[in-house]
Amino acid sequence: MKHITIIATSLNEDSKSQNLAKLFESHLIDEKISCERFDIRTMNIPFCGSSESWGSKDVMIIKESVERSSHIVFAVPVYNYYVNSAAKNIVELISRAFTKKVIGFICSAGGSSSYMSVMSFANHLMLDFRSIIVPRFLYVDPGGWNDDKTLKSEINDRMRLLISDLGEIQVIES
What per-residue confidence (pLDDT) applies to 174?
64
Determine, yes or no, domain membership for 136.
Answer: yes
What per-residue confidence (pLDDT) applies to 80?
83
Q: Any idea what the CATH number is for the domain that residue 118 is in?
A: 3.40.50.360
Q: Check: pTM over 0.75? Answer yes or no.
A: yes
What per-residue confidence (pLDDT) applies to 111?
86
Determine, yes or no, domain membership for 173.
Answer: no
The proportion of the chain whose per-residue pLDDT surpasses 90, expressed as a percent, equals 86
Determine, yes or no, domain membership for 157.
Answer: yes
What is the mean predicted confidence (pLDDT) over 51-58? 87
Question: Residue 6: is its pLDDT beyond 70?
Answer: yes
Q: How many domains does the chain have?
A: 1
C-alpha 52: how far from its chain's center? Answer: 24
C-alpha 74: how far from its chain's center? Answer: 1
Please write the tens of the pLDDT for every residue from 86-114.
999 999 999 999 999 999 999 999 888 88
Predicted confidence band at 52 (pLDDT cuts at 50, 70, 90)? confident
What per-residue confidence (pLDDT) applies to 70?
95
Determine, yes or no, domain membership for 34.
Answer: yes
Q: Which domain holds residue 63?
A: 4-168
Determine, yes or no, domain membership for 174.
Answer: no
> Average pLDDT over the chain, rounded to whole?
94
Closest CA to 91 of 51, 52, 59, 139: 59
What is the mean predicted confidence (pLDDT) over 69-87? 94
81: left (phi over 0), alpha (psi -120 to 50) or beta: left
Determine, yes or no, domain membership for 154.
Answer: yes
What per-residue confidence (pLDDT) applies to 19?
96
